[in-house]
Chain A
Amino acid sequence: MKKISPQVWIVVAAGIAVILGALVLAKANPAEAIRTLGTGSFGSMRALSGTLKETTPLLVAGCAVYLALQAGLFNIGVEGQLVMGACTASAVGVKMPTPAGFFVGCAAAMIVGGLWALPAGWIKAYRGGHEVITTIMLNNIAIYLTDALVIGPLKDPAAAYPTTESLSKATRLASAVKANDLQINFALLVGVGIAVGMAIWLKKTKPGYELRATGANATAAKFAGVDTKRVTLSAMVVSGAIGGLAGALMVFAHEFRFYQGFSPGYGFDALGVALLAGSSSFGLLPSALFFGALAKGGTALAALSIPKGITTLTLGVVVLAFAAVRYGRKAKGGGDGA
């Protein structure tokens, strides 16, 4: 661990001051707000279930961002991949009201998610266009496209607002734990499985090694016999597929349908989840839980009439402060065209 300069601590302190200051501005008592945040997320079995529900898409989407990040790519497009996956999964689930519908739906969502990331990966690898811009464009397109679909061909004719029909019980994903008020869906276990599997794959396998080498120093990787363009492209596509799966799992485990404004920004929060995870994807577990708690507790804050922007603001401050501690880097080359 490198030494942390006093400057960084100033940033951390300033970040805390900004958030507390914002609370004071909103005429809230910071202590009460933090307490509300705590009880709202972990205070009861019901609250914990809600936190874990929020954690699930953040964890899976966080895995998607993390994988791309290891390959040196900022997949800001998980938001778009997630809604595309969710929309696909609902469309399949509605047409196939059987348990098979779940598997086909997940597979279709992963394919669509992967395809949605493909242009960004291709443009990055073979055209030198930065993935941050392309994925953001793809996000906007995905949101307008799924809106159009759910207003048009996929709309439940009986519903008053743009939504698909609900999935039949047979297609839904069951709870792994259901005791009193505590509910944990299998989807969370899928997320944990991906995070654990990815940690092992990255550390122990040659393709994982080559992907990390590409992310850490693409030129050195190329000299070491790695086809870095292919790694870039496939990392982006697999990342997109995981992003699509995140959307599908939300549909099958919790939402049971797709509707306009489906994601409250899970894809962007996932970026924070991945950045906070640190050097191993095991770190995604606590990191996703933290963001899940923030999201669940954040809704409780609304009762204190604290604007919802506080959670995004906190997220930004946390990412900046954490990056100052961990991602501050030595002077070195490697600017690429953003």
Chain B
Amino acid sequence: MALDPVQLAISTVTLSAPLALAAIAGYMSERSGVINIALEGKMLTAAFACFAASTYLGAVGGILVALVVGILFSLLHWYSTQKLKIDPIISGMALNLIAVGATNFGKELLPPDPIADGKTLPLQLFYVLAFAVPFAMMVWSAKTRGGLRLRAVGSDPDKARLVGVNPLSVRFSALIVTGVLTGLAGSLLVTETRNFTDGMTAGRGYIALAALILGGWRPVPALLATILFGFASAVQIQLKGTELAGANIPSGVWSMLPYLVTLIALAGFVGKQRTPGGLGKV
């Protein structure tokens, strides 16, 4: 079994990119204190929106609709956790179910053809964004009023309130950014395949969240963690169909690799000292 290093590097980049966008989407939400297991559903919904809109409106229309849908879905999350005060895990699960159901439903109502040539944005644009956004986010968090307030609310919403910072509005803005970034992540997936399939996010939202946790809720370390997962996926793709010690390994075994890496990484991640103090607090 031989691995092609160039191909491996290229696939690592392309496979980490959606994870990186989703991880930073998760950063905005969780650093503001909103537990976000709904990244998966937000990506899926945006992916579908991008697919459906690109077919009719072209590349720019497609991405714009995807962003708007991502933002709206994210704000539904804000409303359910902050206004209705539903347990964030339960509401996150519910949103994921709604996303799976609604996109399957929507897909059945559309013609099954892939997006035509010229109706998607260049992929490179997404890749550049995916690797630039974590660094931009690092600077923004440390050096701007918005970043400071985001961290203040995520650390302790009650104390933030005492200095006149309103957690509700900070989280509202944070979840809009989450919506934009999941919108980009979902659009990236559709732009790569030119098509929408049921459950095409395939757990990437959860892997991105795991990367965020492994990165200690910091943008750049989270990016590094997504690259680790991207690499595991890249290896997995290259190893598919190869023989190991003479035995023919079914491709499914290799498909487990990225999930296994995530699991092991979480098991090895000691402590949770970096968990934002206000996570889940209303």
Contact = CB atoms under 8 A, between A and B. Distances in A.
| A/B contact in complex, CB under 8 angstroms | yes
Interface of A: 7-8, 11, 22, 25-26, 74, 76, 119, 122-123, 127-130, 132-134, 136-138, 140-141, 144-145, 147-148, 151-152, 268, 271-272, 275, 307-317, 319-320, 323-324, 327-338
Interface in B198-257: 202-203, 206-207, 209-210, 213, 250, 252-253, 255-256
Given A133-B213, A141-B260, A310-B105, A335 B93 contact: no
A128 B271 contact: yes
7 contacts: A119-B263, A132-B93, A309-B104, A311-B101, A329-B282, A331-B85, A338-B280
B173 interface: no
A336 to B, nearest CB: 7
Contacts of A317: 94, 98
Interface of B: 30, 33, 35-37, 80, 83-91, 93-109, 202-203, 206-207, 209-210, 213, 250, 252-253, 255-256, 259-260, 262-263, 266-272, 275-282
A145 B252 contact: yes
Contacts of B37: 132-133, 338
Contacts of B99: 316
B277 to A, nearest CB: 7
B209 A320 contact: no
A117 to B, nearest CB: 13
Nearest to A74: B89
A171 B259 CA distance: 35
Contact of B267 (A123, A136, A151): A123
A316 B262 contact: no
Contact of A323 (B87, B260, B272): B87
Nearest to A338: B35
A313 B252 contact: no
B259 A137 contact: yes
A327 B87 CA distance: 6
Contacts of B267: 119, 122-123, 127, 129
Contacts of B105: 22, 25-26, 307, 309-310, 313
Nearest to B254: A144
A144 B255 contact: yes
A182 to B, nearest CB: 31
B152 to A, nearest CB: 15
Contacts of A307: 104-105, 107-109
Contacts of A25: 105, 109
Q: Which 4 pairs from chain A and chain B are nearest by CB?
A: A313-B101, A309-B104, A335-B280, A316-B97
A308 B252 CA distance: 26
A334 B280 contact: yes
A335 B91 contact: no
A28 to B, nearest CB: 11
Nearest to B102: A313
A127 B107 CA distance: 40
A272 B96 CA distance: 12
Contacts of A151: 250, 252
A323 B275 contact: no
A271 B103 CA distance: 20
